[in-house]
Amino acid sequence: MSPDEDARRLVQYIQSLTDFVYHKVDPPYGHMGATIADTVLQANNKYDTHVTPRVQRILRQWPNATTVTAVLSVLRSVPTVTFLNWSGVDRAERFDCILRLLKSEQVETEADLHTWLMKDASLQKVRAIHGVGPKTVDYLKIMAGLQSIAIDRRLMTFLGNAGIAINPSDYSTAREILRRAALLLSVPEADFDHSIWRYMGGDAVAPCA
């Protein structure tokens, strides 16, 4: 089937679900430390138990780390693993790499990030960071208040439940089908993503990077 045909099938499936509810995606944090931490911690983790408590801790302990420069200032005296409350160095390194990239691009606030991520060249620069996959890039866009869909296992399973068979590695096709379905339903992409994620049990592991 073509993406358009699959999108129509997906819409029909959703309309057949009596318990499917649309949810608004959460607004941006307005805090670059929290935004980047959420982005680097979300892959391969249970969101409610592993990500939310750590992000809320950052917001409580460093409420003024709202800009990239402010976060980097904190990290001069606080190790990144401590800031994230995460022992794995891979996440810490990814966090640091994103911060350094944003600093070099003169991105300071979430408003700056929102504008910067609208450029294809910016997305390529984020994607070039080791360990950052297409899902993380799309997730960061959503975190900055942009419209996107971040494909994970739950969304892939939802497509399968609708009778749409896609190779798990075919991220772009899955995203395109969901985008077209969101358009047919007149639902913002980020809200559509979030609604499916919650319907499928959003606290479960979302493994795609």
pLDDT at 202: 55
Q: How many CB atoms lie within 10 A of CB 180?
A: 19
Burial of 16 (0-12, 13-18, 19+ CB in 10 A): exposed
The domain 32-143 is classified under which CATH number: 3.30.1560, 3.90.1570, 1.10.340, 1.10.540?
Answer: 1.10.340
Residue spans per domain, the chain:
3-25+149-199, 32-143
Largest CA distance in the chain: 55
What is the rounded average pLDDT for all residues in the chain?
94
Residues 6 or more apart whose CB falls under 8 angstroms from that of 45 comprise 51, 205, 206
**pTM of the predicted protein model:** 0.92
Q: Is the pLDDT of residue 152 over 70?
A: yes
Q: Is the pLDDT of residue 204 over 50?
A: no
State the Cα–Cα distance between residues 153 and 18, nearest whole angstrom.
Answer: 23
State the Cα–Cα distance between residues 43 and 101, nearest whole angstrom.
Answer: 20
Q: What is the mean pLDDT of residues 58-65?
A: 98
State the Cα–Cα distance between residues 170 and 153, nearest whole angstrom.
Answer: 12
State the Cα–Cα distance between residues 91 and 167, nearest whole angstrom.
Answer: 27
- Using 50, 70 and 90 to split pLDDT, how confident is the model at 11? very high
Look up residue 77 and give its two tokens.
Answer: 């005296």
Look up residue 7 and give its two tokens.
Answer: 């999108």
Q: Is the pLDDT of residue 1 over 80?
A: no
Q: What is the mean pLDDT of residues 77-105?
A: 96
